[in-house]
Every structure is written in structure tokens, then in C-alpha cells.
Amino acid sequence: MNKYPVWLNVLVVSILIAGILFALPNLYGSAPAVQLADADRNAISEGQLDNYVRSLSNDGIEPEDAYLKDGRAVIRFNSIEDQQRSGELLRSRYKGEANVALTLAPKLPPWVRAIGLNPMSLGLDLRGGIYVLLEVDMATAIENRMRSYEQDIDDRLREARIRHRVELRDGIVTVRLTSADQLEQVRQIIVNADPNLLIGDGADGRSLTMRMTEAQIKERQDFAIEQNMTTLRNRVDQLGVAEPLVQRQGVDRIVVQLPGVQDPTELEKILTATATLEFRMVDVTGDSSGSRRYPGRDQEAPQVLMREVVASGDEIVDAGFTFTPEGQPAVSITLNSAGGDRMLANTQQNLGKLMSTLFIEWREETVQRGGVTETRKVKTEEIINSATIRGVFKNKFQITGMTQLEARDLAVLLRAGALAAPVYKVDERTIGPSLGQDNIDRGFRAIQIGFIAVIFFMALYYRWFGMIANVALLSNLVFIVAVLSLLGASLTLPGIAGIVLTVGMAVDANVLIFERIREEIAAGTSPQAAINSGYEKALSSIADANITTLIAAIVLLAFGTGPIKGFAITLMIGILTSMFTAIVGTRAIVNFAFGGRKIASVPV
């Protein structure tokens, strides 16, 4: 009785070895390092990595280790001095090509890295950094879209020589006609412009209303989020942060996490400002209705621009730096079809004339008015480039007339800088590095002391069986760390609290089993039979108890944000791994130690 088959013993030992292996990377600690990411988001090659390392050794810096990880180059050093110096050298040498960030890298031996093992990552509350939750201003995004519909319909009706007035209010465009006769013709024109728009009849019998459908609004929203995220990613990369996180949350929010960044003002510059671009024709005569004079940026000449927008930043699908066949630096631009159609019509009409690229930025500003402080949005508009239209084109074209550096900058700006909808900050948390280290130290001390207390208690109370439960408890800790490392989940302070709680609760399964064994012995059952039925009869209670805790953990995971999620994840992992260690693990040891032979009493 009480013998595990060989295969089961082998399985238990294999799982334990796997757990130790996956938890292993956490033992090596970390060292200062420099991380390089390609500015164009391509993967860094072995060749490039060699170049970086060679360029450093030319200056007498010998890195400890250098390798590629997730398309980025990581170069690790012995000292912070080497790291700082290398960071500066690489930054100046590879400006525009690679974004350089100072970070900490795990000191893994090459063989551990080769099999793809990684340590747990630490959450912001443990390593310090900034967390920001941004909300995208969807009302403005939708308003912008409707304004371009308004103009589109205005153009088309003018082309069809239909007398009309258009008006945009609260996201609804109203087209008023002089008579009802042309209503059907106008309806058809709107359908041609976009068959998905919702068209309604006005109360006066000679007007039509149009608005976006729910599906269109959703699509618009998704697009605005995507676009903002791309922009944020690029801007954040340029900040030189090692492992930035830019992630969508819910319908209209974006989470940005910048580990290691300490100064929130550094972030403000890139986060609160939102920008977009518009292509507009230069009004040479200066007397068209609605045209206005705009200043130029830096050396750029100011121009009077027409009111109509040929294409705007949110219609740019792609942009890149390139050279013309003549060897001039240029920015290649790809527009979506709506923008392309308008660009085609515009270039056919305006060949040889000047077209400008207008850069528009919104910034929040605080003003004092009559003793009351209020925030308002301030809009800055600058011409960044004006160029002559040299041919008829549609959705793909090039802008020339800039230096190489300017072209490169504009390409980045166009590709990433065109924020279609403004973002607002709704939540921000900055954790200093000293607090992060304190949290780690305190968290681990709490685990240690809690763990030791439980171990003493169990050994005292259940003697040899208590010691076996302690082995299970220790392996449970190893498994939690292993699973966290394997999932790439980050450890947070509430996560540590979850581990501590698990240590206390994980012994419950063993307490249930051991108490049952004691009961069986008291009832006069033989030692071996008592062990066996103790394990068997306690099983249903253990399962019930763990499933109910699991329900609470799942609800936490589903409804919790940030800190709560970290707690829920470690709690869930802890419950699952403890079921294995407390039931199967301890049984394997008990069977090995006491099974299959005559024992006088059970040391429980």
C-alpha cells in the first residue's frame, strides 16, 4: 500500500526539475546595461551588434556581454560608469539610427539565455518609473471626421451645381436645399460619397441630415486609438526608455508605462501635446474667402493658405524617407482613398502651384482669469514645408525641397506624429527608485519571515509530516516564480502580497490531509490505511476549498486594474501550484518514506 508507480514518481521529479529550471534565471541578479532599438523599428542584426561592440572597444570599454533580444541589442557592463559612458558614446554615434536606453539586464549565463529562459520582470512599483493612463478625446476625433464629410459633400454639391447650405452641429451634418426637387439627387451624391452614412430627412422637407453609424464611430474610435498608440510608441522610443509599454485599455484609453523614468515633466512634453498635419493650397492672390496667413517654422516662409484642406494627417497611411531619382532627399507619402481622391482632383486643378504642409499642435495651458485658474486648449499652427506641385498624383506622392535631416524628421513626424484625436491624462503614478528598492526589500523580508514562521509551526505541529509539507511549500514558491517567469508576468508589491498569502493558505490542503489521518488513526485504522484514506477523503474538501478561492481570484482578475491584477495573478498561480505540491508532491514523499512497508505508527 501507498506506493506510487515509477512513472508517477518520475513525473513528479521531472516537474520539479522543470520548475527549478524556469525559476533559475531569477537567481543571477542584474547589472547595468545599454539597450539599442532601431529607430525605424526594424530588428537589429548581428552585424550591427558587432559594430556597436567594436565601436565601444575602440574607446577602451569592454562589455561583459552583448546579445540580441526581441530585435533589440543589449550590451551589459561591469560598472555603472561604463554603462553611462557607453550610453553617451552610442547615443552620439548612432543618432537617428538607433534609440539608446540605459537599463538593467539580467546576468544570465549564455546557456540559460540560449534556451530562452528569462527572469520575472519587476513591476513599476518595484523598479521605479512612471505609469500614465490616457484617454483619447473621441468627441474631437468624430467632429474632425464629420468636418471632412461636410467639406466633401460641399465640394460635390458645388461640382454638381446644386444650390445648398451645409452645416455641422453636434456631429450631424445638415444639407439645406432651396427646393425639394433635387433632394433625391443630393441623397444619391451622399451615398456615393460614403454609402455607410446614416441619411435622414429634415423636418422642413427640403433638407437632409447625415451622421455616422455606430459601426463607423467604432471604427473611427479604433483607428484613433491605433494611431495614437503608434505615435506614442515612437515618441516614447525616442525618450530612450528600455522596456516601455504602450497598451490599449478598454474602449478609449491607453496605458503608458515607462520603467526607470523619474521626471514626469520629461513625459509631459511628448504626451500632452497632440499634433496633426494638413495639406493646403497656398492662396497666391490672398483673397479667397476664409484664407488666412500662417507663420512658418524656423526658416520656412509664412504663407496665406486656402481654407479647404486637401488632405489631413489622419488620412496618411504611410510615410517614409527616400531619395528622388535625381538624388534629392524626399518624403514619400501614401494617403487613404478619400484623401487620394481629393489629392487627385486638387493636383489636376492646381498643377504648378504651391502646396503647403501645415503642422497643428494642441497643448493644454493654464490661465488665470479674474482670480480663477482654468485650463484651456491652445492651438499652434505652423507651416513646415511648401512645395510646387510638379505632376498629377493621387494617393502616393513625394515632398521635396528639404535637407536630408529635415526630410528624415518630417517622415517620422508624418508617420507617427499625426495624432488624429487629442489625448488627456486621467491617471498618473510616479514611483521613485528608492521606494521601488524599499518595496522589494520589504516584500522579500515579509515572504522570508512569513515562510520561516509557517515552517516552524508545521514542523512543530505535524513532526515528520510537517517537514514534508514544508518541502511542498518550498517547491510551491519555486513553482510560483517559475510560472511567473514563464508567463513573462511582472511581479508587483500586491503580487508579493499574493505570494505571502499563498504561503499561509497553501498548507491548508496538508492540514486537511493530516488532520484526517489523525482522525483515522484515532478511529483505530492501521497506519498505512490511515495515510491512504487521509489523502483520499480530504480530496473533495481540498478541491471545493480551492475552487471557491479561485472564483474570488478570477473575479479579481476580471474586474481589477493594475495593482489588483498583480495580486490576483499570483494568488491564482499559487492556488493551482499548491494543489499539485500539497496533494501529489507530499504524497510522493510520504509514499517514498513510509509506503510499502510495515510501520508501527504514523509520525503526524
Partner 1 sequence: MRLIKHKTTIDFLGATRRKVALAVSALVVVVSIVSLFTHERPLELGIDFTGGILLEVGYPEAADLEAIRSNLAEAGFEDAQVQRFGADNDVLVRLAPQEGIDPDELRENLRLTVAAGTAGVDLRRVEFVSPQVGKELTERGGLAMIIALLLIFIYVMVRFQWKFAAGAVAALAHDVVVTVGFFSIFRFPFDLTVVAAVLAVIGYSLNDTVVAFDRIRENFFKLRGVSAEESMNTSINEMLARTLITGATTLLVLVALLLFGGESIAPFSIALIVGIVVGTYSSIYTASATALALGVNAQDLLEPVKDPDLIDDLP
Q: How far apart are CA 358 and CA 303, in angstroms?
A: 10
The least distance separating partner 1 from the CB of residue 490, rounded to whole angstroms, comes to: 17
CA atoms of 151 and 158, how far apart (whole Å): 10
Tell me: does residue 599 bind partner 1 (CB under 8 A). Answer: no
Phi/psi-derived region of residue 188, left when phi > 0, alpha when psi is between -120 and 50, beta in every other case: alpha
Instruction: Indicate whether 505 belongs to the interface with partner 1 (CB under 8 A).
Output: yes
- Nearest residue (CB) to partner 1, 224 versus 509: 509
We find the least distance from the C-beta atom of residue 138 to partner 1, in angstroms, to be 14
Provide the CB-side half-sphere exposure for 360 (13 A, CA). 18
Least distance from partner 1 to the Cβ atom of residue 248, Å: 16
Grid cell locating 157: 454639391
Q: How far is the CB of 146 from partner 1 (least distance, A)?
A: 25
User: Binding to partner 1 by residue 601, rule CB under 8 A?
Assistant: no
Instruction: Report the residue number, 16 or 568, with the smaller CB distance to partner 1.
Output: 568
Considering only residues 234 to 273 of the shown chain, the ones binding partner 1 according to CB under 8 A are 264-265, 268, 272
Strands, E assignment, 263-421 = 274-281, 292-294, 303-305, 311-312, 316-323, 329-335, 354-369, 372-388, 396-399
Is residue 36 within the footprint of partner 1 (CB under 8 A)? no
| List 338, 345, 556, 584, residue binding partner 1 (CB under 8 A) | 556
Contact 288, 307 (CB under 8 A): yes
User: Where does residue 415 fall: left (phi above 0), alpha (psi -120 to 50 degrees), or beta otherwise?
Assistant: alpha
From candidates 33, 412, 571, 590, binder to partner 1 by CB under 8 A: 571
* Residues 280 and 308: beta-carbon distance below 8 Å: yes
**Shortest distance, position 1 Cβ to partner 1, whole Å:** 23
The correct pick among 200, 205, 504, 596 for binding partner 1 (CB under 8 A) is: 504
Q: Name residues contacting partner 1, limited to 165-194 (CB under 8 A).
A: none
Instruction: Kindly tell me which residue out of 58, 285, 540, 601 binds partner 1, with binding defined by CB under 8 A.
Output: 540
**Radius of gyration of the chain measured on its C-alpha atoms:** 33
Q: Which of 171, 205, 295, 432 binds partner 1 (CB under 8 A)?
A: 432
Q: CB of 459: closest distance to partner 1 in angstroms?
A: 10
Closer by beta carbon to partner 1, 349 or else 561: 561
Stretch near partner 1 under the rule CB under 8 A, chosen from 39-47, 176-184, 205-213, 510-518: 510-518
- 5, 434, 600, 601: residue in contact with partner 1 (rule CB under 8 A): 434
595 binds partner 1 (CB under 8 A): no
Site string for partner 1, 352-391 (x = CB under 8 A): ------------xxx-----xxxx----------------
Report the site for partner 1 in 438-467 (rule: CB under 8 A): 438-439, 442-443, 445-446, 449-451, 453-454, 457-458, 460-463
Is residue 426 at the binding interface for partner 1, with CB under 8 A as the rule? yes
With CB under 8 A as the rule, give the number of residues binding partner 1. 80
Of 230, 36, 22, 245, which Cα lies nearest the Cα of 127? Answer: 245
Q: Which residue intervals of 75-199 are DSSP H helices?
A: 80-93, 110-114, 124-127, 138-159, 183-193
424: β partners: 135
- Strand 121-122 versus strand 490-491 pairing type: parallel
- Are the C-beta atoms of residues 439 and 493 closer than 8 Å to each other? yes
- In this complex, which beta carbon is closest to partner 1, that of residue 28 or of residue 444? 444
Q: Residue 350 contacts by C-beta under 8 Å, 6 or more apart in sequence?
A: 281, 389
Q: Does residue 265 sit in helix, strand or coil?
A: helix
Nearer to partner 1, 225 or 333 (CB): 225
d(CA 539, CA 286): 86
